[in-house]
Amino acid sequence: MSTSVTNSESTNPPEVHLWKIPPITVAEPLLAARRIELYERLKKIADVHRAVQFATSLAAEDMVLTHAIFECAAPITIFTLDTGRLPADTLTMIATVEKKYHTTLKRFLPQPTGVETFIAEYGLNGFFESEEVKKACCGVRKVEPLNRALQGADAWLTGQRRQQAATRSALLLNEQDEVRGIAKYNPLFDWTEAEVWSFLQFYDVPIHPLHARGYPSIGCEPCTRAIRSHEDVRAGRWWWLQSDSKECGLHVKAL
């Protein structure tokens, strides 16, 4: 006897399980030790440099660093890159951070002439065409503003971690930014994903709203999407490009 299949059973798509914020899984004593270690790292970095800058994207790792900088009172300047294509939730997150930490984040925007030149040559969304055009867009909206923001600094921080991508597996705490001629530090280089998310939730750090909607990594609105639970955490960045390198050009090395 054949089994009949109703029309609704045959047409309903399979359920999609999006990435979810991991629960707190790190024991409190270990988390407290990592917290103290991070605060000491930040203070040492600030002690050996004249002007340290930190560019925050407001995403998970950057919020760990933002919270730590304010908690340990390290003299590190925090700013953000307002690319002109940020999700509305990121702009809301900026206001949340400013209220939580009683501060004002300085915003660096792209030069209007650079944006106009890019649009005239490639169109507003020309970055969908190729890796080269994507890099050109990031160059105008992110790299040039970062270079401007870091003028006068002798060191800067990133929220990069070894576990984030194959291109970051050999990451160290400190390195030389040869392109900009200043020191560069990755204070979370050896942190696990579990430690990051446990820290945020245990210490009641503001969490970007898009993380709760399946976005483990957050960038510009048209270039970022939610991912499924089984995908790589950076799969939602520039998803249309078939590449293991999910970078925008902020962390380039001199050839």
For the annotated catalytic residues, the residue numbers are 248
HEC string of 39-65? Answer: HHHHHHHHHHCCCEEEECCCCHHHHHH
Cα(177)–Cα(67) distance, rounded to whole angstroms? 24
End-to-end Cα separation, the chain, in angstroms: 69
Angle 210-214-215 from CA coordinates, rounded to 5°: 55
Cα(232)–Cα(179) distance, rounded to whole angstroms? 29
Cα(68)–Cα(26) distance, rounded to whole angstroms? 18
Dihedral (C-alpha) 94, 95, 100, 101: value to the nearest 10 degrees? 60
